[in-house]
Amino acid sequence: MVSAVGQAASTGGAADRFRHAERTLWTAYGLEPTERTIDLSEPGVRLRVQETGPETGSGDPVLFIGGSAGTGAYWAPLIRELPGRRAIVLDRPGWGLSSPIDYRRTDYGKVAAKIIRGVLDELGIDRVDVVGQSIGNLWGLHAARIVPNRIGALVLLGGSPNPEVPLPKFIKLLRSPIGAIMVRAPMKPGMLHKQLEALGHAATLARGGMRDFVAWRLDFQRHTPSMRHERAMVQAITAGDGFRPGVHLDDAALADVAQPTLMLFGTADPTGNQELWRRYVERLPDGRLELVADGGHNLLWDDPVGVGGTVRHFLDAA
């Protein structure tokens, strides 16, 4: 991994230790991305972007935007299943090795769309397909609505903020005073396993899956301040038992998302249920829902080959 543009978003001991952990995971999937830094004057943020694959592949470039589960090499199992495409992995502000921003008094959707547009401008890309996970889904949806000429097809992995879904227990805990202790305490394997089981991955863990993810995630939390920044974001964009107005998309906003959209939802994902998400997808003009049996919130790690094949066929046909 090399810095292709400017300084790396974060450098030094902890950041470099995390890069080493990332390199291990990327290499396990036969990938060797390059790293570059993008500075955006508006909203004033330094972003880390990683790229792998040909500059011009057999299909359009794909932008990957993660949720609270991870970023960077988190996407390696899925990217391996999309050969020939230029994969662009964005660290959201404050996540991974990107600098944080203050989400208070901001329009979350407009900030997300502005950042995606800025990244595409810097990379010289006119139009991109977007694959999101969890809150990363919202980034793709907001961009599709606000800068529709820049966004092709959308793939949404797992549940995301939805007015019909109460705040998950983990989010409530994260924004509480206990959360301040949680984000500073060293993450231990047993604690991470319990979190993953609560997110619907008990079956995968029981058969010995997600070992690469667990090793990477432990280093992610040890060597980056991501969880502290994520807590600040959660505190800024939530209120009561839900999200602030404008964070999730209401029916009118969903109706403005004209791009072909595929949502993959794991049947073990605790963020809602399949009927709730079916209703959600039906509000999209060109949306469809597919279920992943026994998939949890990070379903690409439950069945990377199956999920990858579904995503590949959808993007090729879109």
Residues composing the chain: 318
Cα-based distances in Å from 139 to 92, 184, 240, 270, 317 = 10, 27, 22, 21, 22
* Two tokens, residue 158: 């797992």
pLDDT of residue 163: 80
- Full-model pTM: 0.94
Residue 57 has pLDDT above 90, yes or no: no
Cα-based distances in Å from 269 to 41, 151, 156, 196, 272 = 37, 27, 13, 11, 7
Helix (H) or strand (E) holding 277: helix 274-282
Mean pLDDT check: name the lowest of 24-33, 107-116, 165-174, 262-271: 165-174
Query: Is 149 within 8 Å of 314 (Cβ atoms)?
Result: no
Query: Is 244 within 8 Å of 235 (Cβ atoms)?
Result: no
The residue with tokens 């890309």 is 125
Q: What is the mean pLDDT of the chain?
A: 92
Beta strands in 200-239 (DSSP E): 238-239
pLDDT of residue 272: 84
The 10s digit of each residue's pLDDT in 278-296 is 999 999 999 999 999 999 9
The 10s digit of each residue's pLDDT in 224-240 is 999 999 999 999 999 88
The 10s digit of each residue's pLDDT in 83-119 is 989 999 999 999 999 999 999 989 999 999 999 999 9
Stretch 245-256: mean pLDDT = 93
Domains of the chain from N-terminus onward: 13-317 (3.40.50.1820)
Under the banding of pLDDT at 50, 70 and 90, the label for residue 3 is very low
pLDDT of residue 171: 86
